[in-house]
A = this chain, B = another copy of it.
Amino acid sequence: MSRLTDYSRLCIHTITTKPWSIEEACGNFSDAGVKGITVWRNALEGKALMATGRMIRDRGLQIVSLCRGGFFPSIDAVKRSLALEDNRKAIDEAHALGAPMIVLVCGADPGQPLQESRKQIRDGIQEILPYAREAGVKLAIEPLHPMYAADRSAINTLAQANEMAAAIDSPWVGVAVDVYHLWWDPDLETEIKKCGRMNKLFAFHICDWKTNPEDLLNDRGLMGEGCIDLPLIRTWIEAAGFNGFIEVEIFSNRYWAMDQHRFLSEIKEAYLNC
């Protein structure tokens, strides 16, 4: 495995430095030599999308993804239809911004069986697929940690995401691998290989898993701070043919509370050991 020696593949999610506006994030990432940015939709509220996309590119940043679409399942058909509408809106936004891909947090409804939610996810993706294809926007299914199976995603392993992407069988639908969600999986290496063989490995998200997180959602660790063997997983990812951006996605009340310039320096330092 090659060491990371520069920042040519470093992408940061806007949510990682949530206190910064999209303009601040852009400016500061660019000044720091970061090359990619994944834009969360909350950072775009009230913004002119095409102008924002231009601003990002003018600062030398590549837009990697728009986060996020999905949340397809609901026991309520009206809500399912609203979800499809929101996904089409996300595709419009990605197109206007110039983002080539949307990450799908697929959703789940605790009021119905997981099997039903999984079926609705597949139906939902099939439904929006023609719209995405027409807009030239890829869809990346992101399997989420099983602790989110009740209401955030009924897709909880890479095997499930791979199976769904294979079943849908479109070059516009693939998978986003986030180490936070998948590090524990005994089948991770095998499934990363499989994903690569299918040409479905669309994105790679990193952070770390702290022992005894204080919060199920917003206590992710900076790379190196927890127990995920990031260099090992990156070896598998690269052996599977992925050479795209390595995206830092950290939700953390702790890091959001600190000086974001200092945090960005820490991210850069930690990144080189991933």
Interface on A for B, CB 8 Å cutoff?
110-111, 113-114, 118, 145-147, 149-151, 156-157, 159-160, 183-186, 209-213, 216, 226-227, 229, 232
Contacts and interface: CB of A to CB of B under 8 A. Distances in A.
B184 A227 contact: no
Contacts of A209: 149-150
Contact of A184 (B114, B216, B229): B114
A111 B225 CA distance: 11
A185 B37 CA distance: 33
A149 B110 contact: no
Contacts of A146: 145-147, 184-185
Given A147-B145, A147-B146, A211-B151, A226 B110 contact: yes
A110 B211 contact: yes
For the residues of A in contact with B, the DSSP-based class is loop
Nearest to A153: B184
Q: Which 8 A-B pairs have the closest CB atoms?
A: A110-B227, A149-B184, A146-B184, A150-B211, A147-B147, A110-B211, A150-B227, A151-B211
Contacts of A232: 113
A151 B157 CA distance: 20
Nearest to A214: B216
Given A146-B184, A151-B212, A159-B186, 11 more contacts: A110-B227, A113-B229, A145-B146, A145-B147, A146-B147, A149-B184, A150-B212, A156-B186, A160-B186, A212-B216, A216-B216
A151 B185 CA distance: 15
Contacts of A157: 186
Nearest to A148: B184
Contacts of A149: 183-184, 209
Contacts of A227: 110-111, 150
Nearest to A108: B227
Contacts of A211: 110, 150-151
Contacts of A118: 186
